[in-house]
Structure 1
Amino acid sequence: MSKQRRHGAVEPHEDYGFFGPGSVVWKVWGYPTSLTVGFQRAVVVEELDPPLVAAVHRTQGIYQRPRTRYDRTLRYFAMVAFAGTREVCRAADVLVKVHSKAVGQLPYSEGTYDANDPASQLWIQLTGWHSILYAYERYGPGRLTEAEEAEYWEACATAAELQTCSPDDVPRTREGVRAYFERMRPQLSASPIARQAMNHLLRTELVLPPTPLWARPASMVVARAQRIATIATLPRWMRELAGIRQSRLLDALVVPVMKASFALAHLSPRLELRLLGRLSPSTVPVVAPIKLDIPPLRDEVLTPAEARTRHGYPKPAEAHLDLRARQATRVLGEGRAPSEQGLLESQEILGPLTS
């Protein structure tokens, strides 16, 4: 309790969530590479999937409210890794409602898209977890041990239970993850809307808060460095597909700069939280109890199944089927705009839609 009194502005989580202290998830996701370069890489790479980018383009959220969209998405990423199980189950449940409005016709090929489709959700899951690990390895302490890596991909499968995809489809090895991306490669496409989204999401300056005139040069340097660092993690074939240019010299030069910067930031939990607050204010309350070593109300780690039973939530794949069917009928059958129900409900959990 002394720590809670000393850091009275920080609320403890209800429990340790799905992973907890000592886990490889907390080790990797708790390093400053994860919620910066790792997260940015994930959302950029995701856009190469035609159904996903069609959903993103339809909602226009990344263009109309880039800061709040980035903030809310990063908060959810962090919640899965660090928040208490009740809070995460609630967020996962409302996210199904949010995604229910992202349905429609594919703009550049036959067929439809649905943000709750298990294949799209698996793509998001593996792109996210792979990007977080890749950034940690490139700009952080380096590769995990064999045992840690096995634990990491098992944890990825655990987290997949919070999506509409099946944890059985999550590879459990580095080789399996590589094989998944190779299978996906023929399906990926840098359509005009994909290129637009990828280049937009690489503009870190769009998600930074307003900066005083005297501080703008430093802010632009930070944004430019993160863009360079993120592009440097993209394979050449992906850059060529998306029309993203960056020299091999920049790829090499940015590594020691970012490694030193992240190592320095990691020396001070309070500095990490201040920097995170610049990118994503609503994520700070999720991460702060872990960074400041504030124990939860219950000293326990649950499985997703245990958490659903305790807190009364269905599996995301089985949640809100009536709403999802109504949304599909409105959009695909009647040609009307989808309901905003889930998006409005999500504000209490994921943060406001405007700032």
Structure 2
Amino acid sequence: MLMPHQIVGQLLNKRFDQDVRQHFFRGMDFAGPQGDPGWFGPGSAVWHVHSHTQALVFGLQCAAYLERLDPSIYWMGVHHSRLVRPDTRTDPAPQIDPKGAAVRLGHSVAFFIGTAYGSTPTAERLALAVRSMHHTVKGVRPDGARYDADDPEWLRWNYATVVWGLATAHELYHPQPLRGTDLDRYYGEFVRVGHALGGTDLPTTKRETLDCLESYLPRLAVTYGTAMATGPNLPMPHSALDWAVRDTMPPWAQRLIQHRNPNIVERSARRAVVWSIINGIHVGSGPLAEFEQAKARVADGVDPDLAPHTEPSYRPGSDPARGRAEVEHAFV
């Protein structure tokens, strides 16, 4: 007889197949070529961290919450993504489109699984797709300030929020979390993804990432999107998830949104509940199929002639110019 967490896991696996894998993993190769380690390969910290799908998805939510404290990145999402209803993109108070938000999450999950476990050509193709989309994201905020997704300062902020969200979710909710220098190894490896997206001068340790994030404080604000996605007005279970997300934020960011932690006993109890939920689902779901395929791909060893562990091949300024319609036709 299946246990309740196994039933839930099977249902979520089926949902993941139908809603994410079938739509957003198209064209990705995880099974071949034999001997290709991709960007990271066996024994890497990235392979360990990203193998826990539920913690990975939670970490992406943590990163999204933190990154939209930058008004420019918030309005980039409003104006250029499917996150909000198209007829409200120019409104000062846009309305979330649930289907569009699901599409955005699906693309994000596919990207961070694909770049971790995909073949080298798969990882390079995914990075090109994201860069090409970023090249089209330029505009003006309602207050008149201009934004550009290729701005190195924006790329650094965006990268730092992502690596912080993923690494902190891993620290708190992975059953075998990396600590200390082992966790810094993850920060150091993951920078390859940031470089592949055009980032420069990126942090490579947990301490550097914390310092990088805090250095942006003078330009941050509580955006409309942040205000609407937090607080006591959220219904359960959203309020519980919201607390867990805010719990991962650096102390200065928590103060910015007036988040107050409970006492250490209650905080530990809350984290234990979230840990049980995330890991119960993880156990019920079983190992990530793409991770298993990647391990089989290098089971006989890494072929040094295929793809040694090097930086991604992208060089800033080398991408061909594409319009948004052409980008979506080619990659989305």
TM-score where L is the length of structure 1: 0.68
Question: What amino acid does structure 2 have at the position aligned with 1:290?
Answer: F
For 1:282, the equivalent position in structure 2 comes to none
- The equivalences for 1:8-23 within 5 A come to 12-14=31-33, 15-23=36-44
Q: For residues 248 and 13 of structure 1, what CA distance do their matches in structure 2 show?
A: 49
Residue 325 of structure 2 corresponds to residue 319 of structure 1: no
Q: For residues 11 and 322 of structure 1, what CA distance do their matches in structure 2 show?
A: 29
8 Å CA contact 1:34–1:133 kept in 2: the answer is no
Deviation per CA, 1:183-222: give whole Å up to 9, x if none: 11111111335534x559xx9x9xxxxxxxxxxxxxx75x
For 2:273, the equivalent position in structure 1 comes to 257
Residue 82 of structure 2 corresponds to residue 61 of structure 1: yes
User: Which sits farther off after the overlay, 66-75 or 133-142?
Assistant: 133-142
Structure with bigger helix share is: 1
SS at match of 1:48: coil
Question: What amino acid does structure 2 have at the position aligned with 1:161?
Answer: H
Residue 27 of structure 2 corresponds to residue 42 of structure 1: no
8 Å CA contact 1:19–1:25 kept in 2: the answer is yes
2:172 to 124, 138, 143: 138
1:97 to 126, 129, 132: 132
8 Å CA contact 1:93–1:319 kept in 2: the answer is no
For 2:88, the equivalent position in structure 1 comes to none
SS at match of 2:204: coil
Question: What amino acid does structure 2 have at the position aligned with 1:289?
Answer: E
8 Å CA contact 1:95–1:342 kept in 2: the answer is no
Structure 1 residues 17 and 150: alpha-carbon distance in aligned structure 2, compared to 1, 3 A threshold: same
For 1:75, the equivalent position in structure 2 comes to 110
For 1:335, the equivalent position in structure 2 comes to none
Residue 330 of structure 2 corresponds to residue 345 of structure 1: yes
For 1:248, the equivalent position in structure 2 comes to 262
TM-score where L is the length of structure 2: 0.72
After TM superposition, give the deviation of residue 17 of structure 1 in Å.
1.3
Structure 1 residues 292 and 259: alpha-carbon distance in aligned structure 2, compared to 1, 3 A threshold: farther
Q: How many pairs align?
A: 280
Deviation per CA, 1:102-144: give whole Å up to 9, x if none: 111132353x211122222222222111111111112234763
After TM superposition, give the deviation of residue 235 of structure 1 in Å.
4.4
For 1:87, the equivalent position in structure 2 comes to 122
Unaligned runs of 5+ in 2: 1-21, 23-28, 85-96
Structure 1 residues 199 and 102: alpha-carbon distance in aligned structure 2, compared to 1, 3 A threshold: farther
Structure 1 residues 246 and 345: alpha-carbon distance in aligned structure 2, compared to 1, 3 A threshold: farther
After TM superposition, give the deviation of residue 50 of structure 1 in Å.
2.3
After TM superposition, give the deviation of residue 230 of structure 1 in Å.
1.6
8 Å CA contact 1:122–1:170 kept in 2: the answer is yes
Structure 1 residues 228 and 272: alpha-carbon distance in aligned structure 2, compared to 1, 3 A threshold: farther
Deviation per CA, 1:216-255: give whole Å up to 9, x if none: xxxx75x554333223223464345346x67627744321
SS at match of 2:296: coil
Structure 1 residues 138 and 294: alpha-carbon distance in aligned structure 2, compared to 1, 3 A threshold: closer
Structure 1 residues 80 and 109: alpha-carbon distance in aligned structure 2, compared to 1, 3 A threshold: same
Deviation per CA, 1:64-102: give whole Å up to 9, x if none: 411111101221122222211101111111222212221
- The equivalences for 1:166-185 within 5 A come to 166=200, 169-185=201-217
Cα RMSD, aligned residues only: 3.2
After TM superposition, give the deviation of residue 32 of structure 1 in Å.
4.1
For 1:295, the equivalent position in structure 2 comes to 296
After TM superposition, give the deviation of residue 155 of structure 1 in Å.
0.5
Q: For residues 179 and 204 of structure 2, what CA distance do their matches in structure 1 show?
A: 14
